[in-house]
Amino acid sequence: MKFAGIPLAIFSIVLVVPFVNGAYYTFTDWDGFETTKLVGFSNYAKSFQDPTFWSTLRFTALFVIVSLILVNAVAFGLALIVTSQLRSKNFLRTFFFVPNLVGGVVLGVIWQFIFNSALVALANKYNWELFKQSWLQDTNKAFWALIIVTVWQSSGYMMIVYITGLVSIETDVLEASQIDGASPLRTLFTIKIPLMAQAFTIALFLTLRGGFMAYDVNVALTGGGPFRTTELISLHIFQDAFANGNFGTGQSKAVIMFLIVALAALVQVSVSKRYEVQR
């Protein structure tokens, strides 16, 4: 099977080479075109001296934590609804999944219209104080706008992950608990959730990674505004490198981002693995 070499070669060219290359560049005076000398850790030092980088890191951390909790809570709730005995469950599942089909950019733009125009128009007409000024012009409210769109977009996908976990539970275990007189809530917490812990591992990993990598919704919804206060780390790196031409610090920040994502994912997966029950 010598043809297996082709995808491996493409993989190396597209992923491995830029990865190694990028790590090397952070220790040089690279300006996007050429390098003349090694500069040690000065790019990293400069990145950490940048106050906007710190505020981006804080904002991103908050975004990842809040979106992680809400996406998974909502997704699990949706999964419970569509695995219940409702006759309309397939129909509901179809609806919940729809936002996931459309790319983050288009979704972001749709919600930009809602927050900037539709809600403001309605608020002026019916005198709703909360929406009279667009949410996207206020850092705190823009944060919640980002969260709302993210939850709306990703919960459908994570719902599928949880459905897969829920339906994998053997029915005889559930019947046994019913015969023993366990209430539905008790069954949920002591039987269902422990037996489907693997689904949680996967969904938490995907949302964690997705939260750190969020870019499309950020660009299309807030564009980082007002005054770069809602820039998540991806957008921050993009701006640093491609808008301001700081390739050295931009790439150092990207490496820092990679290390944070890798570490967070490693911790999360090893912690949630401990809750998985062997069957």
Partner 1 sequence: MKTRARWGKRATFIVGITLAFAYVFPFFLVFVNSFKLKYDILDNPLAIPLQITWENFQQAYTKMNFFRSLTNSIIITFFSVSLLIIFSSMLAYYLARTKTKLSKYIFLILVASMIVPFQALMIPFMARFAQFVSWNNRGALIFFYIGFGVALSTFLYHGFISNIPTEIDEAASIDGASDMVAFWRIIFPMMRPVTATVAIINALWIWNDFLLPRLVLTNETQTLPLSTYLFYGQYSIEYGQAMAGLVLAVIPIVIFYLILQKQFISGISAGAVK
Region 28-67 residues binding partner 1, contact defined as CB under 8 A: 32-33
Give the up-direction half-sphere exposure of residue 9: CA atoms within 13 A in the CB hemisphere: 5
- Residue 181 touching partner 1 (CB under 8 A): no
220, 112 Cβ separation under 8 angstroms = yes
Q: How far apart are CA 255 and CA 26, in angstroms?
A: 8
- In the complex, minimum distance from the CB of residue 195 to partner 1, in angstroms, rounded to a whole number: 14
Binding to partner 1 (CB under 8 A): which residues in 64-83?
78, 81-82
Q: How many CB atoms lie within 10 A of CB 189?
A: 11
Binding to partner 1 (CB under 8 A): which residues in 151-170?
152, 156-157, 160-161, 163-164, 168
Q: Which of 70, 215, 239, 268 binds partner 1 (CB under 8 A)?
A: 215
- Residue 247 touching partner 1 (CB under 8 A): yes
Closer by beta carbon to partner 1, 169 or else 237 = 237
Q: Which of 71, 169, 219, 221 binds partner 1 (CB under 8 A)?
A: 219
Q: How far apart are CA 71 and CA 166, in angstroms?
A: 17
- In the complex, minimum distance from the CB of residue 103 to partner 1, in angstroms, rounded to a whole number: 3
- Residue 118 touching partner 1 (CB under 8 A): yes
**Which residues, 6+ apart, have CB-to-CB distance to 208 below 8 Å?**
64, 68, 261, 264, 265, 268
Closer by beta carbon to partner 1, 140 or else 168 = 168
Binding to partner 1 (CB under 8 A): which residues in 249-278?
250-251, 254-255, 257-258, 261-262, 265
Q: How far apart are CA 213 and CA 261, in angstroms?
A: 9
Closer by beta carbon to partner 1, 11 or else 41 = 11
Q: How many CB atoms lie within 10 A of CB 223?
A: 15
H and E: helices and strands count for the chain: 15, 0
- Residue 136 touching partner 1 (CB under 8 A): no
Q: How far apart are CA 227 and CA 141, in angstroms?
A: 14
Structure tokens at 274: 């401990």
- Residue 213 touching partner 1 (CB under 8 A): yes
Q: How far apart are CA 236 and CA 56, in angstroms?
A: 7
- Residue 245 touching partner 1 (CB under 8 A): no
Q: How far are the Cα atoms of 114, 124, 140, 187, 242 from residue 117, in angstroms, in the given order?
A: 6, 11, 19, 46, 30
Closer by beta carbon to partner 1, 32 or else 194 = 32
Q: Which of 121, 176, 267, 271 binds partner 1 (CB under 8 A)?
A: 121
- Residue 21 touching partner 1 (CB under 8 A): yes
- Residue 224 touching partner 1 (CB under 8 A): no
- Residue 279 touching partner 1 (CB under 8 A): no
Closer by beta carbon to partner 1, 174 or else 265 = 265
Residue 28 phi/psi, 5-degree rounding, is -125, 180
